[in-house]
Amino acid sequence: MNETNPPAINSATRPMYWSIRRELWENRSIYIAPLAVAALALFGFFLSTIAGLWGKMKLDPAQQASKLAEPYTHVSLLIMGTAFIVAVFYCLDALHGERRDRSILFWKSLPVSDLTTVLSKALIPIVVLPILTFVITVAAQLLMLLMSSAALLITGQSAAALWTKLPVLRMSLMLLHHLVVVHGLWYAPIFAWFLLVSAAVRRVPFLWAVLPLAAIQVLEKIAFNTSHFTAMLGSRMSGGSDGAAFMKPTEIHTHLAYDQFLTDPGLWIGFIVAAAFLYAAARMRRYRGPI
């Protein structure tokens, strides 16, 4: 192996690459869950195609496009929601499970630094899951399109209207944009927080991740009768003060508001907070033993 791949060239990226591979070996739900949901959605779509596609094709052209696009949006939302739930539970277990089953002592017997390990685990929800979500969603949508076309052709109708009315490329671009901007960049501090909790607590990471946030909201309300913390969390979940991270489908072809998004201080504060959480998680992993 090393004869063909000089270790000097790969020494920086190899541990990261293998760490991510091992995460996928261990946590197969990362790709099985979205795939299963996609399969289920396809089955549902198959049933509804038989039932109602012809009705939609007879609608007046103005409504037709949005009506046709509806199930495609639903599928992408469903897969994305699944991926988000998988990401949350993955993060909560990522640094907790290895301490619980003491396999951390095996990982630590190999020359992979704690920072590399924590970063590889952070890359799963921030990069790997969005990519998987994108690929699975686009594949599912293409299959849906083919299914509809086949159904139309079988009944002797033209599928041309379907392909011209349905904004296939735009939907994919929207999805990619949303995944990169929201799941990859905007939600980074959320995943980093879950990883930190996972590294820090001895048991029930889910409660430790959620209850302190609720407690701060209650305390703030009682002590100062304000709800800045609630507003901050809400803005994080919903994509910023003016929803810069989320864009309406109609906006995508007019302008991608990247300048607005990139100058949003919330984005940069989020990065700093995420970096701090991940650094703290790496320190915790470094200095604390198994449970």
Partner 1 sequence: MACIEARGLRKTFGQTIALDGIDLRIEEGRVLGLIGPNGAGKTTALNSILGLTSYEGELTVLGRDPWRERDELMRDVCFIADVAVLPRWMRVWQALDYVEGVHARFRRAKAEEFLAKTTIRSTSKVRELSKGMVTQLHLALVMAIDARLLVLDEPTLGLDLLYRKQFYDSLLNDYFDRSRTVVVATHQVEEIQQVLTDVMFMDRGRIVFDCSMEQLESRYLAVAVPPDHVAAARGLRPIHERRLLGRSILLFDGADRHQLAALGDVHTPSIADLFVAVVGNEAGEPERATR
Enumerate binding residues for partner 1 (CB under 8 A).
1-2, 7, 11, 14-15, 17-19, 21-22, 25-26, 98, 101-106, 108-114, 286-287, 289
One DSSP character per residue, 177-240 reads HHIIIIIIIITHHHHHHHHHHHHH-SS-HHHHHHHHHHHHHHHHHHHHS--HHHHHHHHHHHTS
The helix (H) or strand (E) run that includes residue 25 is helix 14-26
**Cβ distance to partner 1 smaller for residue 105 or 142:** 105
**Cβ distance to partner 1 smaller for residue 108 or 177:** 108
In angstroms, what is the minimal distance from the CB of 1 to partner 1?
6
In angstroms, what is the minimal distance from the CB of 97 to partner 1?
9
In angstroms, what is the minimal distance from the CB of 11 to partner 1?
7
Q: Give the distance from CA 132 to its chain's centroid.
A: 9
Cβ burial of 89 (10 Å; 0-12, 13-18, 19+) is middle
In angstroms, what is the minimal distance from the CB of 286 to partner 1?
7
In angstroms, what is the minimal distance from the CB of 17 to partner 1?
7
CA distance 107 to 88: 23
**Cβ distance to partner 1 smaller for residue 25 or 224:** 25
**Cβ distance to partner 1 smaller for residue 111 or 156:** 111
In angstroms, what is the minimal distance from the CB of 123 to partner 1?
16
Taking the alpha carbons at both ends of the chain, their separation in whole angstroms is 36
**Cβ distance to partner 1 smaller for residue 99 or 183:** 99
CA distance 72 to 69: 5
CA-nearest of 172, 171, 174, 150 to 162 is 150
CA distance 52 to 102: 54
